Amino acid sequence: MVKSAGCAAKIFPDILSEALRNIVIEKNENVLVGFEGKDDAGVYKINDDLALIHTADFFTPVVDDPYMFGQIAAANALSDVYAMGGKPQTCLNIVAFPQTQDLDIFNEILRGGSDKIKESGAVLIGGHSIDIENIVYGLAVAGIIKPSDLKCNNNAKPGDKLILTKCLGTGILNNMIKFSELNKENYNQLITSMTRLNKNAAECMIKSNANACTDITGFGLAGHAMQMAAASRVALKFYVRELPVLNGVNEGIRKNLMTRGDKSNKEYTKANVINTGSINKEAEHILYDPQTSGGLLISIPEEKTGFLLLELEKGGDIYARIVGEVLSPTDENPEGIIEFDFTS
Ligand code: CO
Ligand code: CO
């Protein structure tokens, strides 16, 4: 058993910007996606048929089972390649582990990661490890894509529908494991969700010609939706009652087991959020809950939603559903705004 530390929270975006001040990033015409749009991964064009996708992600244990933790961390790191529509090719392990601890745990974490990498079709070709007090695990991933297939977060079009492929609530349920208890059935649903690759979702999205995509991770639905709305210069509207939520999350909310990210994500997005209908204070926490290995949020023309939903379900993404729509910016809902509609 590893001691689950809860997912370490992300550094706030404004603190990151401060840390990056006076750092000039050279313009390069081959950089298709860089820092600017807060997209999921960096993309570098090799030629008209091929671009490289680069990303890295790692965190402290979110569950006590080291094999599961390894799978979750790898699925989460691979997800940013899928969120661009790409195919992961090579992975490097990123590991921090206290050498004095049980090395079987170390082995189980790496085995979990390795199994997920195999499932993705990528290969593990190296890594780096340090001896430190806290366990950290994740991957650096390189993927490939045809530049014309790229699914950035800046191309959501007014009239599109928004499809979310996984249930929300992983942060709250991980806290229930840590501070309370989670019944076997709900635990299994949570683990199945976090260890599930966004591979099928990415393949279906390419097949159905979606317009834009991002994955829902540390900044929660609200944070990642806000980044998509701002980059695409549109407003997004979500039907809160339609959001798929993991079983047990409402119990966790009633027990006040929200993570630190709940407050910071709300703070991060508050200038851009409009709530309509009668706000359900419990449901509201789901919007800000940081996700570990969350699903894809796909923006797609309405007439293609039927095909996409069918393909997603065929490939096992059984919780995928339409959760909102893309609006032209107006005075009421200017660009970058997300509206949460609580109408029941
Ligand atoms: Co991402
Ligand atoms: Co990431």
Q: Rounded to an integer, what is the distance from CA 36 to the centroid of its chain?
A: 18
The alpha carbon dihedral of 182, 186, 192, 195 has a sign of negative
pLDDT at 16: 83
Spacing, Cα 31 to ligand 2 middle (Å):
18
Spacing, Cα 278 to ligand 1 middle (Å):
31
Residue 8 lies in a domain: no
Dihedrals phi, psi of 109, to nearest 5 degrees:
-60, -50
State the Cα–Cα distance between residues 172 and 334, nearest whole angstrom. 31
Q: What angle do CA 231, 155, 206 make, to 5 degrees?
A: 135
Question: Measuring CA to CA, which residue among 137, 127, 165 is closest to residue 62?
Answer: 137
The verdict on 214 and 236 lying in the same domain is yes
pLDDT at 24: 85
State the Cα–Cα distance between residues 212 and 214, nearest whole angstrom. 7
Residue 155 lies in a domain: no
pLDDT at 1: 60
pLDDT digits (tens, 9 = 90+) for 248-282: 999 999 999 999 999 999 999 999 999 999 999 99
Using DSSP, state whether 243 is helix, strand or coil.
Answer: coil
Question: Measuring CA to CA, which residue among 265, 245, 249 is closest to residue 180?
Answer: 249
Boundary of a domain, candidates 114, 149, 184: 149
Spacing, Cα 292 to ligand 1 middle (Å):
11
pLDDT at 8: 61
- Rounded CA Rg of the chain: 19
Q: Which of the following is catalytic: 7, 91, 204, 213?
A: 7
Q: CA dihedral in degrees (322, 54, 265, 15; nearest 10)?
A: -160
The verdict on 304 and 270 lying in the same domain is yes
pLDDT at 4: 60
Spacing, Cα 39 to ligand 1 middle (Å):
7
How many domains would you assign to the chain?
2
The verdict on 76 and 183 lying in the same domain is no
Q: Provide the token pair at 315.
A: 């490939």
Residue 154 lies in a domain: no
Q: Are 113 and 70 in contact (CB under 8 A)?
A: yes
pLDDT at 136: 97
Its pTM surpasses 0.85: yes
The verdict on 99 and 207 lying in the same domain is no
270 to 11, 14, 110: CA distances (angstroms)? 17, 14, 39
Annotated catalytic residue 167: no
- Proximal ligand: closest to the CA of 213: 1
Q: Provide the token pair at 126.
A: 């190296």
The verdict on 215 and 260 lying in the same domain is yes
The verdict on 139 and 214 lying in the same domain is no
The verdict on 135 and 272 lying in the same domain is no
Q: Helix 199-207 crosses helix 66-82 at what angle (to 10 degrees)?
A: 20
Identify the segments of the chain with pLDDT beneath 70.
1-9
